[in-house]
Copies of this chain bind each other. A is one copy, B any other.
Amino acid sequence: MVLEKKFAIYKERVNQYVETLLPLASNSEPKNLYEPIRYAMEGNGKRLRPILLLITCDALNGRFETALPAAAAVELMHNYTLVHDDIMDHDTMRRGRPTVHHKWDADIALLSGDGLLTLSYRSLLRTQSPNLQRAAQVFTDGLIELCEGQCHDHDFEHDDSVTMAQYLHMIRQKTARFFSICTEMGALLAGAPDAKVSLVRQFGESLGLAFQIQDDLFDITVSQAVLGKDFGSDVKRRKRTFLYVYTMARGNPAQRDALQQIFRKAESTDTEVRLAQQIFSDAGALAGAETALREHLQKARECLQRLEPAVDTAELHAFVEMILKRKS
């Protein structure tokens, strides 16, 4: 309970810091750049990534003020990826609101995504630390991997034969790499020794893998109203999620055929989305995802245990629990 309050305070501090990077709200010219940027940042985001960065820095005895610009940077970077990914995915809803390219247009979304990315560097470069250069390299190399992962994700939409290994490589580059960017930067800005930096990086990666598999599950187990996204958007967008690759690897021939027929069509009706969900369930993909999710969480917890008792990992454990219990 106390930790939840702390996370809420951190979230608020990140939001406040982001404001300092933007022109004054009353004078945000040009409007077609700063209005969509503010809109993207105002969505009811959970600020998970900056909180993870900040509590990692905390755990390794770093200073909050040293890590705050980097925390704001990862949140800005996260929102840049959302705005650009939504263009590529043709998604119209995000967190219960129209996406930027849907509310404005693709050109404005393109440019405001670029603006968010640039502002994330503006934030990061305010960091006062002898480890700034190394932290910024982790941030940048991670971002290049995110681009690679996004490219694979996009390519996969036209590829029936995506394997579980390819899927895992892709989410390792996208979601998992992003979580490990946060933990690694938090540790570097705390001035932690290499061995600890390495352990929290592995922790972030395992946590990120669990997070993505959970996200894949949400698309069919959580209602549209809670997610604030289009109904069954993963199926409609031909996303090769854990559920898809599991079913194609482990389902029976009838299940695989039926799923492939749905995925080969140009568009899906809601009935076909529900049919795909039924196939995932029948093929054991939901249970398989639950198992994989727990395995990755277990690995994450093991990384923390290897840091104990020298490091107080209570907040990081609480963060894992929060991820596990999230509803959207």
Contact = CB atoms under 8 A, between A and B. Distances in A.
A148 interface: yes
Oligomer copy total: 2
B125 A140 contact: yes
Interface in A52-89: 84, 87-88
Nearest to A106: B106
B117 A117 contact: yes
A147 B115 contact: yes
Interface in A280-308: none
Interface in A106-150: 106-108, 110-111, 113-115, 117-119, 121-122, 125, 132-133, 136-137, 140-141, 143-144, 147-148, 150
Contact of A147 (B29, B33, B133, B141): B33
Contact of A150 (B111, B113, B136): B111
Interface in A200-230: none
A81 to B, nearest CB: 9
A88 B114 CA distance: 13
A152 B108 CA distance: 11
A270 interface: no
A125 B136 contact: yes
B117 A154 contact: no
Contacts of A29: 148
A257 interface: no
A155 interface: yes
A154 B107 contact: yes
B88 A152 contact: no
B32 A151 contact: yes
Nearest to A81: B114
B148 A33 contact: yes
| Secondary structure class of chain A's binding surface, majority of residues | helix
A122 B111 CA distance: 21
Contacts of A309: none
A193 interface: no
Nearest to A32: B151
A148 to B, nearest CB: 6
Contacts of A152: 30
A34 to B, nearest CB: 9
Contacts of A32: 151, 154-155
A111 B147 contact: yes
A13 B107 CA distance: 34
Given A111-B151, A151-B32, A151-B33, A118 B143 contact: yes
Contacts of A121: 121, 136, 140, 143
Nearest to A135: B125
Contacts of A117: 114, 117
A148 B107 CA distance: 13
A151 B30 contact: yes
A173 to B, nearest CB: 10
9 contacts: A29-B148, A30-B151, A84-B111, A87-B107, A88-B110, A107-B154, A111-B150, A121-B140, A133-B133
